[in-house]
Amino acid sequence: MYNKTLWKDRIVEKPRTYQVQNNSDGTITLIPTEGTIVEAGTPITAYNLNKIEDGIYRARHLFVDSIDGTIQYPTYDGEGNITKIEHKDAQNNILRTDTFTYTPTLITETRTLNTGETLTLKYHFDANGNYLRTEVI
């Protein structure tokens, strides 16, 4: 499960303000003099960046890589709606199962890998059946 980071900007009293320090070798050093820190902000760290990379990798795996070269076996309800799709390899092993539920304004699709990892997609529609947005959970 991907836990998203709520990113916050660093907010200071005097942004982009520096003091110049002249060095003996003829160079200068800029020393931040931003004043009071109003909001520390979210640190840009290897941990946070790797979390993004891992999330992208897992999403790609659940969307594409997990079903490359598979055969899809759909199951339908009495109204002709797909309720389940099993993605099987050449040896008939299930690699991913997609299940679907329907309401007049929402189709929910849950993709489950044989490893137990899941991804849920919610397709939102207005009362007239017009597509509004997709929510990825």
The amino acid that residue 54 corresponds to is D
What pLDDT does residue 61 have? 67
Which residues face 82 on adjacent strands? 76
Residue ranges of domains in the chain: 11-62, 70-136
Residue range 121-131, pLDDT digits in tens:
999 999 999 99
Write the pLDDT tens digit of every residue in 70-122. 899 999 999 999 999 999 988 999 988 999 999 999 999 999 887 888 889 99
Phi, psi angles (nearest 5°) of residue 119: -140, 130
Inter-residue contact 79 to 130 (CB < 8 Å): no
Sign of CA pseudo-dihedral 125, 110, 50, 43? positive
Residue 46, pLDDT > 70, answer yes
